[in-house]
Structure 1
Amino acid sequence: MKEYSESEFLIETIVPEDELIVSRTDLSGKITYANETFASISGYEVDELIGKPHNLVRHPDMPKRIFKEMWSKLESEQKWQGYVKNLRKDKGFYWVYASVSGVYKDGKLVEYKSIRFPIPYEEKVFYQKKYDEMRNIDGENIRTVIYK
């Protein structure tokens, strides 16, 4: 089990109510577009995000089954929506409600777009507990913080 200092993973960045985080990826999940809000909230510059896998911002608290469900829906040409805890470049985090769907040209899937919205504190607490339980059930690593 990897140990982290008490400051890592504990600092939350709040997504402003009037902001939307927008990105697009190619079919393999590499970022092709990121708006300034995405860059700012995630702690990256836009040019640092372009060409990188979108899972660059996947927080280790997220259960693997959530992303399996997302990809399953996307592959069957459905929209996926759900709550996501993302990892910032500085190891902090931010919570969003994400809506991910395919982008089609002439009936052919060409990329994915994702729009993320801020969520209330109560939903963050609910989903943190729910995702911790899922990871425990699935035998995934559970994060622990050690104070010295």
Structure 2
Amino acid sequence: MSETLARARPTGKERHFGADELIVSKTDLKGRITYANGTFLDIAGYDEEEILGQPHSIIRHPDMPRCVFALLWSEIEAGREIFAYVVNLAKNGDHYWVYAHITPSFDRHGKITGYHSNRRVPEAGVVEKTIKPLYAELRKIEESQPNRKDGMHMAARAMAQKVKDMGLEYDQFVQSLSQH
């Protein structure tokens, strides 16, 4: 596909998928989608032909803190897996929450060749009680600076400090929220 699809405006309406369903996608090293399973296509509202080759950020919701994605990319580019709560944006502007497990894919020589993400339904209580307030706080910090990068770095430091104050690393914090 030669053009990037335009991103929809958020509608405020939430979509849901089944607890027994798994959203799966794969990307190349630049984050362009190379595979999307049927659940991904259904919940995001895209046809396979229109989503393949698109940047995975096409489903990024504007309420998602940039610092969380910066951490995510830092971890997977370093060859490590990461778990994260993510709010995504469907083609029509609806949103959906996921509990994501993102891993690098390696060739037989140990070189990263792309990324693989499995997403499941998050626990609603965790999203409402912990993640939404945390993400709102992080976005407020990000938006407090005229320079977007400075805001992102400030929010990342605030998140790291909050987690450190709990005596945890980021991955321990995220995994401690879920009973999965």
The TM-score bracket by the shorter chain reads 0.7 to 0.9
Superposed, which structure 2 residues align to 1:90-105 within 5 Å? 90-105=92-107
What amino acid is the match of 2:44? S
Match of 2:119 in 1: 116
2-structure distance, mates of 1:87, 1:93? 5
| Higher relative contact order structure (alpha carbons within 8 Å, sequence separation ≥ 6) | 1
Match of 1:59 in 2: 61
2-structure distance, mates of 1:61, 1:136? 10
Match of 2:50 in 1: 48
Choose 58-67 or 132-141, whichever is displaced more. Answer: 132-141
After superposing on structure 2, the runs of 4+ consecutive aligned residues of structure 1 that deviate more than 2 Å are none
Of Structure 1 and Structure 2, which has the larger fraction of its residues in helix? Answer: 2
Q: Per-residue deviation at 1:120?
A: 2.0
What is the identity percentage for the equivalent residue pairs of Structure 1 and Structure 2? 40
**TM-score, normalised on structure 1?**
0.86
Q: Per-residue deviation at 1:39?
A: 0.4
Q: Per-residue deviation at 1:140?
A: 6.1
SS in 2 for 1:137: helix
Match of 2:33 in 1: 31
SS in 2 for 1:100: strand
Q: Would the alpha carbon gap of residues 86 and 100 (structure 1) be closer, same or farther in structure 2, given more than 3 Å must change?
A: same
- The CA RMSD measured in Å over matched residues stands at 1.6
Of Structure 1 and Structure 2, which has the larger fraction of its residues in strand? Answer: 1
What amino acid is the match of 1:18? D
**TM-score, normalised on structure 2?**
0.72
